[in-house]
Amino acid sequence: MKLKYSIPLLFMISFFSCNDNDDPDVTPTPEPYLTNITIDSIGFVLNEYESFNITVNGNYADNISNEVEESGILLSTLVDGKIDDNTSLSVNLNTTDATFSHSYDNMDRTVTYYINTYVKGNDGVIYYGTSQKLTPSATILHDQRALTFSNLSTLTNAYDYVSVRIGADIVLIGEIPTTYGLEYSINKEFTNSSKSIEDEDLIYQNSISANAIELSVSTKYYVRIYAIYDDNEEVKSETFEVTTTIPEVGDLFPIQPDEYITDITTNILTASYLVYKIDPSSKVITLGSLLEYSTTATWTSGDQTVEIRGVTQTVQRPSVAFLKEMYTIETTNTTFTLNQLTLSYFNFLRDKFYATSEEDTSDSSKTTEYNPVTKVTRSVDKNLSSGERVSRYVKLLTY
């Protein structure tokens, strides 16, 4: 005989009977029948959310008797649980079968349970056996651990041109992996792949998400969520394909990892650059620094190595022509108008002279500076004797 119960909470099943037999010669003797109900084994199977099922197997012989009204097994949260209290769940095993198998499902792994046998005589007296504490194996979390990912999907992501955020349903049983994240590659076979690591710990939950940042614009990636246990066993999801987008003029453009995080105070994104120009024919994106930078160093041509937000980066000074274009974009593009209102740290071009990438063609000791508001150029010594040189840097990216 196989029975099964689901118990999100233990509840009471009570059995009532009335013995109208007043014959003084009838002496109920159900207690010896306890020896005919034996529990031989108890199996434990982990579920999600730290719950488990148990299956109780045993023998049940010579149980039908005039003196016994009811007999069975009893699950309780008390060592001396009774069938008529609200901490127990009993099952009547009256049957002609010689063996039984009974299951209790969704038991809380943090609760202590006890299993016992009982018989109830025709006079209503109940006799109990010796309760057993249900103790899962100390290694059950490791032995029965299981993890599956399914239904991968692309989640909303503010920087979807240089990052991806993938969600998935998850079934986690037993031991919890120590690390998880997203593996990604431009190759379907995941050769030369990279792995992101999520900061948050994996927990018992229905779904998760994982991110990859600092990706290439307009590029197809093959991704899969992974998790690693402390013994280095790795579990991976199915492969999912996602393609990064192309940004628009006025979009923030992150360069370093901390720029992908939303500012908790202002609830807006933070970055070092804004997109000023996108050339589909050459596939070049021109970025401009949000801040202006001052220096007394001697002017040099070509690439500039500067520190932006604490990170050393390679940038260029804009030409006179591009400074003019930058100013036009800032004053006419609606996205830039919004940026000036929301990005408190945005140093848009003002009525001042800015360094350019150009030398003075008539004097090699001088360089050209430009004021985009007054539209005036001037020549300045490369090696300043006083004052500072103000720059708005640009950065070119190919995609």
**DSSP code per residue over 168-222:** EEEEEESSPPSEEEEEEESSTT-TT-EE---SSPP-S-SEEEEEE-SPPTT-EEE
- DSSP string of 43-101, one letter each residue: EEEE-BTTEEEEEEEEEE-S---TTEEEEEEEEESSTT--TTSTTEEEEE--SS-SEEE
- DSSP string of 286-318, one letter each residue: EEEESS-EEE-SPP--S-EEEEETTEEEEEBPP
pLDDT at residue 272 greater than cutoff 50? yes
Question: Residue 243's beta-bridge partner residues?
Answer: 220
Assigned CATH topology for domain 2-138: Immunoglobulin-like (2.60.40)
CB 115 within 8 A of CB 131: yes
pLDDT at residue 185 greater than cutoff 90? yes
* CA 200 – CA 202 distance, rounded (Å): 7
Q: Average pLDDT of 36-64?
A: 87
Query: What pLDDT is attached to residue 7?
Result: 47
pLDDT at residue 131 greater than cutoff 50? yes
Exposed, middle or buried, 391 (CB in 10 Å: 0-12/13-18/19+)?
Answer: buried
Closest to 397 in 3D by CA, of 161, 221, 195: 161
Which of 59-68, 71-80, 174-183 is predicted least confidently?
A: 59-68
How large is the C-alpha radius of gyration of the chain?
37
Which of 122 and 293 is assigned the larger pLDDT? 293
- The continuous run of DSSP H or E covering 340 comes out as helix 334-342
* CA 9 – CA 106 distance, rounded (Å): 9
- The continuous run of DSSP H or E covering 341 comes out as helix 334-342
In Å, how far are 11, 57, 218 from 85, measured between CA atoms? 8, 24, 66
Which of 151-155, 236-240, 336-340 is predicted least confidently?
A: 336-340
pLDDT grade for 96, boundaries at 50, 70 and 90: low
Phi, psi of 105 (to 5 degrees): -110, 160
Nearest-10 crossing angle of helices 334-342, 320-332: 80
Exposed, middle or buried, 250 (CB in 10 Å: 0-12/13-18/19+)?
Answer: middle
Query: What pLDDT is attached to residue 341?
Result: 85
In Å, how far are 8, 109, 135, 175, 252 from 138, measured between CA atoms? 23, 12, 8, 12, 52
Superfamily in which the 145-243 domain is placed by CATH: Immunoglobulins (2.60.40.10)
pLDDT at residue 268 greater than cutoff 50? yes
* CA 350 – CA 392 distance, rounded (Å): 11
Exposed, middle or buried, 138 (CB in 10 Å: 0-12/13-18/19+)?
Answer: exposed
Exposed, middle or buried, 287 (CB in 10 Å: 0-12/13-18/19+)?
Answer: buried
Which of 243 and 97 is assigned the larger pLDDT? 243
* CA 204 – CA 174 distance, rounded (Å): 9
Sequence ranges of the chain with CATH classification 2.60.40.10: 2-138, 145-243
pLDDT digits (tens, 9 = 90+) for 328-375: 999 999 999 998 888 888 999 999 999 999 999 999 999 999 999 999
Task: Look up residue 106 and give its two tokens.
Answer: 């969704």
Beta-strand relationship, 132-133 and 114-121: antiparallel
Question: Residue 377's beta-bridge partner residues?
Answer: 370
Mean pLDDT for the chain overall: 89
- DSSP string of 233-255, one letter each residue: -EEE---EEEE-----TT-EE--
pTM for this predicted structure: 0.81
pLDDT grade for 13, boundaries at 50, 70 and 90: very low
Which stretches of 296-399 are assigned E, i.e. beta strand? 304-308, 311-315, 354-359, 366-371, 376-381, 389-391, 394-398
Which of 62 and 365 is assigned the larger pLDDT? 365
Q: What is the DSSP letter of 23?
A: -
Neighbour count for residue 20 (Cβ, 10 Å): 4
pLDDT at residue 65 greater than cutoff 80? no
Exposed, middle or buried, 25 (CB in 10 Å: 0-12/13-18/19+)?
Answer: exposed
* CA 112 – CA 256 distance, rounded (Å): 50
Which of 346 and 245 is assigned the larger pLDDT? 245
